[in-house]
Structure 1
Amino acid sequence: MNGSKHIHLIGICGTAMASLAGMLQFEGHRVTGSDAAAYPPMSDQLAALGIAVGQPYAEKNLEPRPDLVVVGNAISRGNVELERVLDERIPFCSMAAILHDEFLAGRESLVVAGTHGKTTTTSMLAWIYEVASRRDPALAPSFLIGGVAENFGTSFKVRTTRTFVLEGDEYDTAFFDKGPKFLHYFPDAVILTHVEYDHADIYADLAAVKTAFKRLVNLVPRRGRIVAFDASGNVSECLERAFCPVERYGFAAGSHWRIMNMRHEGAVTRWTLTRGSEDFAELTLPMAGEHNALNATAAAAMAAGQGVPVTAIVEALATFQSVKRRLEVRAVVQGVTIIDDFAHHPTAVRETLRALRGAYPGQRLIAVLEPRSNTLRRNVFEADLVESLALADRVVLAAVFKSESIPLNERLEPEHVVAALNARGVPAAVLADADAIVTSLAPRLREGDVVAILSNGGFGNIYEKLPRAISAAR
């Protein structure tokens, strides 16, 4: 685009869309947006940038007429703003397309992809480059992350340097482009963290998910590189036709990057990382959980292979501050610790609860889950969800978010999950919404409890309501 434009984003409060809004503003464009509802952390970021957000969707949000409209992937036909865009032939595009054309072309694109761990791993990789740039300014990264990275206080940054680190989402691109967003990014190198069945609303089965990742692998040039998790047969299958070098990471004896002698010390994890047959570094990460050590290892491997000094990698991981809504401590009230985590899949729920068990040994762990993601709202994962939630000492489920939008024969029944948990000796209950959960749970909590609130949405502002109720109950 030549010159400053008025660009309007429909669905601006999505993590990637809010990041794009900031990037476009940085480039000198006038940016507006709209959404059905805004909630932290992206609403806070947009407010800090001074970007106006119209709520709810309405034709008046398109006045004055914008030069270009970016249509978020959650927007479908029938949206009043989209219908006006189509009626009046206002130019429009997807988030992924404008990201490539305006920001990625001519840069080195390092894409972090996979069913789990993308946001944290992307944040780690960007922070490694940031620390390295203190000694070599040419390494200062541009980045786009699907969440607010605590070290940066933002989810994006645009620079004139070569490296662009970004999260590659396998979700579809827009109502007019049903392919995954990451196929627009034409990566020079890829981290592949995991491949598992997810996004049941757009992928029919695991085979369809694997096809998407195989296409991503097929985009990496021969001169590129893939750093891939070593303990997934699905990942291995997706890599079979790679034309570039592939380096596996994890715990397996034959992996190029191997985690050795891992120790959990409360909320701190330490391990020895080997490369090939040689020790590479002693790493310390101020985060709990085996999954976070794997994320850090993937970021370290990618950075090292791109020429980042090992000293910068060690320093960056030791000072990494996580991502908003990833094992985030929202409050400690009357000795009760309240954790916020962006759980979107049974595997994510399992790893979150495992990490909290390690970080808070011997303390009672209560899981409060809102089935909100398009995956968790479906019954295809019901048995897996029971297995994951069984790691908690007590479980509370909210009603399925917008259950009417899921066909009855596909819809998760929270009562089934609760019945299965109770049968296994894990006390569990279903309560209608955040207010009912707060009213029931707050008086029952005691000093030393850890409450894990698991949702990928605003969850009725439970993160603020529960601490207030705990204080009032004492």
Structure 2
Amino acid sequence: MASLAGMLKQQGHEVTGSDAAAYPPMSDLLREIGITVHEPYAERNLERRPDLVVVGNAISRGNVELERVLDERIPFCSMADILHQEFLSNREPLVVAGTHGKTTTTSMLAWIYETASARESRFAPSFLIGGVAENFGTSFMVRPTVPFVLEGDEYDTAFFDKGPKFLHYFPVAAILTHVEFDHADIYIDLHAVKIAFKRFVNLIPRRGRLVAFDGSANVGECIANAFCAVERYGFKDDSHWRMTDLRHEGTLTHWTLWRGGEKFAEISLPMAGEHNALNATAAAALAFGQGVPSEAIVEALRTFRSVKRRLEVKAVAEGVTIIDDFAHHPTAIRETLRALRESYPGQRLVAVLEPRSNTLRRNVFERELVESLALADQVVMAGVFKSESIPVAERLVPEHVVDALNERGIPAALCQDADAIVSMLAPEVKSGDVVAILSNGGFGNIYQKLPQAITESAIAARLSARLS
């Protein structure tokens, strides 16, 4: 929604917004581009009657502003509606979909097109990304050119449209990264998730192209009846885009990429993790299929600078590295911790988790969550975010996760909130430790509080040692 607001302002519209609580990086982005965000929701925010209200999918009946919109018959629509009408209908949408990796892959694809545009201006992309792409310093760009790179979200569209947002985007080419059960608040099971992705695939025209991960049976099922050309990518010998000789050097990853059995390129990526190498391969495959030169692809991946809140180093305090990652699912947590193991070999890894996403707040993945967190040397969990909104029978019990980890010999503790976590961790972490903060929200401003507390604790300890 923040990105859409920026796009509409760039088109010349006057834009304001409302939220319960806005937090970085999007709150910073909105401030920089001059868009006012009202906090919290209130009827007075609509006293200057808008021409149109765009209703985000987090808004439900009972929201004071929505109720006023309905009572006063103020025109409204969904984000997906206005995106299609204002920006996509006269361009060629290149859509990245999948349970995991969408934001990073979309950012990679946009940067590949941007790099290619230095050679041919027709490649200059418009884009919409669910995070701030560090190469651009923004999450959106609108240009008069044809390519429009965007993240295709399988989450529902609005309170009046419970279908996935990506069904409004009508791609000419697409990527499908993974298909797993997620968004337990709107999908009843994996079957329902697969139906959504099958419908997405069915929107791609015959002349289009679908790049799909080769390591998932669920992906295979979802693409089985595609009318367009399908190119698989991954590690399998018979995949059209095959990765070999994957190797890690700290935060650098290298591999050989093959296309149709012939060597395509040697790829270097300044990011850790097999999952990021797969994301890069998917972006490379789609771009090349749309005519982007291989030289531009290799150069773009070599210079890619990630996305805010994806393995982002927030601070180094007294030798302790604080990492922020937008974790929303046990699989994402697993891949994040694996990547940190590769980036910081031999260093103690502390995982700090806030169960905040609608999936993590439920007990549907309790066993998988334990398996993922067990990759850390120590785990600290916060209480379930807004636990009262989840039925007791469906709600995650953090104590169960903590107990299971302790039984495995992984020291784990439960703290109710960010302040309690900071108070516990600050005095005990040591130089060389890596703390991974895993949350898809603001998490009580822990990203700023923890480095400050670590520094203050270390200063106090040194002072005490001198006095003694």
**Shorter-chain TM-score range:** over 0.9
CA shift digits 1:129-151 (9 cap, x unpaired): 00000010111000000000000
User: Structure 1 residue aligned with 2:247, among 263, 266, 289?
Assistant: 263
Correspondence for 2:359: 375
CA shift digits 1:220-272 (9 cap, x unpaired): 00000000000100000001110001000000111000111111000000000
User: Structure 1 residue aligned with 2:376, among 392, 395, 420?
Assistant: 392
CA shift digits 1:7-63 (9 cap, x unpaired): xxxxxxxxxx00000000000000010000010000000000110011100011112
Matches of 1:291 and 1:31, distance apart in 2 = 37
SS in 1 for 2:272: coil
Matches of 2:207 and 2:289, distance apart in 1 = 12
Matches of 1:122 and 1:63, distance apart in 2 = 37
**Within-5 A mapping of 1:32-431:** 32-431=16-415
Matches of 2:332 and 2:215, distance apart in 1 = 16
CA shift digits 1:252-307 (9 cap, x unpaired): 11100011111100000000000011000100000000000000000000000000
SS in 2 for 1:444: coil
Matches of 2:22 and 2:2, distance apart in 1 = 11
Aligned residue identity for 2:207: R
Matches of 1:101 and 1:134, distance apart in 2 = 29
Matches of 1:137 and 1:334, distance apart in 2 = 46
CA RMSD of aligned residues (A): 0.3
Matches of 1:203 and 1:107, distance apart in 2 = 31
Matches of 1:288 and 1:445, distance apart in 2 = 24
Aligned residue identity for 1:47: R
SS in 2 for 1:201: coil
The offset of 1:64, in angstroms, is 0.6
Is 1:456 the equivalent of 2:440? yes
SS in 2 for 1:448: coil
How many equivalent pairs are there? 458
The offset of 1:181, in angstroms, is 0.1
Matches of 2:451 and 2:224, distance apart in 1 = 50
The offset of 1:106, in angstroms, is 1.4
The offset of 1:210, in angstroms, is 0.2
CA shift digits 1:413-468 (9 cap, x unpaired): 00000000000000000001000000000100001000000000000000000000
Correspondence for 2:456: 472
Correspondence for 1:12: none
Matches of 1:277 and 1:21, distance apart in 2 = 44
SS in 2 for 1:443: coil
Matches of 2:223 and 2:7, distance apart in 1 = 32
Matches of 2:195 and 2:18, distance apart in 1 = 33
Matches of 2:360 and 2:36, distance apart in 1 = 32
Correspondence for 1:7: none
Moved beyond 6 Å, runs of 4+:
none
| TM-score for both structures, normalised by structure 1 | 0.96
CA shift digits 1:309-357 (9 cap, x unpaired): 0110000000000000000000011110000000000000000000000
Matches of 2:138 and 2:46, distance apart in 1 = 27
Aligned residue identity for 1:227: V
CA shift digits 1:69-96 (9 cap, x unpaired): 0000000000000000000000000000
SS in 2 for 1:76: coil
SS in 1 for 2:426: helix
SS in 1 for 2:17: strand
Matches of 1:225 and 1:135, distance apart in 2 = 24
SS in 2 for 1:60: helix
Matches of 2:115 and 2:171, distance apart in 1 = 23
Aligned residue identity for 2:187: Y
**Unmatched 5+ residue regions in structure 2?**
459-468
Aligned residue identity for 2:397: E
Aligned residue identity for 2:412: A
Identical-pair percentage: 79
SS in 1 for 2:436: strand
SS in 2 for 1:124: helix
Matches of 1:359 and 1:82, distance apart in 2 = 46
The offset of 1:384, in angstroms, is 0.2
| TM-score for both structures, normalised by structure 2 | 0.98
